Structure 1
Amino acid sequence: MGLHNCYSVGLVSLVSGILIGKYLFASISPPRPKKSKRNASDISETDDEDYSDDSIASEYEVNSTSLNEVPGEVRMTLVVRQDLKMGKGKAAAQCSHATLALYKMITNPESEAYNEQMVKRWEYGNGQAKITLQVPNQEEMDMLYAQAISLGVNSYIVHDAGRTQIAAGSATVLGLGPAPKAVLDQITSDLKLY
């Protein structure tokens, strides 16, 4: 078995383990608080189809402090699935969910993901830079997710609540970082801008 095949088998095993663990332990996670419903008057006719304010998440907290030694620009990367054909407003809402979730993870002192130094580099170094990329389908998104975790990059997958354009539970956006651009490029350099 060649090195490339060993890498592929290892990566698939990692993704499988993460996904199996997520589903096995989902039943023991604390209940999520219900969010208040918005009035119809809060949403204009033009953005009704593109907005969803609820999501379900897949997150994996990693200790990213080893990445503090990697020099250069720090950014967040948002990877949007193209096969879902989300409207622009819907994709923007899903990217916002991912951004906020990653920020909450990395700034929570009780989280494994807590990394004050990386947050400062991201916030003050270049204005909270974010880049939005596209991925063709969920399988490739899952591979990116596993690769990010293996490199020590905090990751978060947004799953839609299914109230508007797409089926409930659909993985819509993969959020990565904040992390050094050099490390994120190892994961996403083959992807096109969204």
Structure 2
Amino acid sequence: MTSNSNLQILSVGIVSFLTGYYVSQYLKCSNRRKLKQKKPPIAPGSSSSDASTESSYESDSDESDDGIDVDSTDLNTVPGEVRMTLIVRQDLKMGKGKAAAQCSHATLALYKKITNPNSPAYNPEMVRRWEYGNGQAKITLQVPDQEGMDMLYAQAISLGINAYIVHDAGRTQIAAGSATVLGLGPAPKSIIDQITSELKLY
């Protein structure tokens, strides 16, 4: 096979993966919208104003989509620093506080995946290296748009790196469902660098 044939096969594979991923996201969003239209009954002794006050304190991230859980145990043999990488979309022009909140959502989601014994992503050895080996290192990078983010996501999954895309709930600044931050890891820096080395710091 020529290198052009290999490139075409890789391109078709990535496009197929992303198409399937976004179709599933669309279907999940549709189901969530239907559920949100059915308002829960107000508890006895509380008013509708109490309920609206409560909802104003909700998270600004839609965390119902856990993405794909990846078994990263093969990466345990890779030596060196372990880090988490947070990649912020630039075309959304989020404020610094908004971006910080979205990065926090990504960090927590990745941590929950890798520390959950019932998840294929469970990897206590990688967590130990990240927590105690180098102080839970994190780096924040930037990506120009969603297309670039999707490519990084697909590459991370193919390398066995856990990945999570935060989708905003749309309560502040940006449209509901917008993909804001891509979180990667914790994983060896040398493996993450294979897909992020060209990105600029955020």
Normalising to structure 1: TM-score of the pair?
0.84
* Counterpart selection for 1:93 from 81, 98, 101: 101
Percent identity of paired positions between Structure 1 and Structure 2: 70
Decide which of 58, 73, 76 is 1:65's aligned counterpart.
73
1:1-194 paired onto structure 2 within 5 Å = 1-24=4-27, 27=31, 36-38=54-56, 53-57=59-63, 58=65, 59-194=67-202
Quick one: which amino acid aligns to residue 152 of structure 1?
Answer: G
CA shift, 1:177, in A, is 0.4
Tell me the residue number matched to 2:42. Answer: none
Deviations 1:134-170 (A, max 9, x none): 0000011011111111111111110111111101110
- Name structure 1 gaps, 5 residues minimum: 40-51
Q: CA deviation at 1:38?
A: 4.8
Is the 8 Å Cα contact of residues 91 and 145 (structure 2) preserved in structure 1? yes
- Using the alignment, how far apart are the partners of 1:66 and 1:100 within structure 2? 22
TM-score by length of 2: 0.81
Give 5+ residue unaligned stretches, structure 2: 37-50
Q: Distance in 2 between matches of 1:71 and 1:12?
A: 32
| Coordinate RMSD, CA, aligned | 2.3
Counterpart of 1:80, as a letter, is V
Q: Do the aligned residues in 1 keep the contact of 2:87 with 2:140 (CA within 8 Å)?
A: yes
Q: Over alpha carbons, which structure has the higher Rg?
A: 2
Give CA-to-partner distance per residue, 1:94-114, whole Å, 9 cap, x none: 000000010001001011110
Shift of 1:55: 1.1
CA contact (8 A) 1:159 1:169 kept: yes
Paired residue total: 179
Q: In 1, distance between residues paired with 2:79 and 2:154?
A: 23
Q: Render the CA deviation track for 1:82-128: whole Å, top value 9, x for unaligned.
A: 00000000000000000001000100101111000000000001000
Distance (Å, rounded) in 1 between the aligned partners of 2:68 and 2:77: 21
Amino acid at match of 1:61: D
1:22-80: CA deviation from partner (whole Å, max 9, x where unpaired): 4446649xx89x994356xxxxxxxxxxxx82312442101110111111100000000
The aligned counterpart of 1:45 is: none
Cα separation, 2, equivalents of 1:79 and 1:100: 14
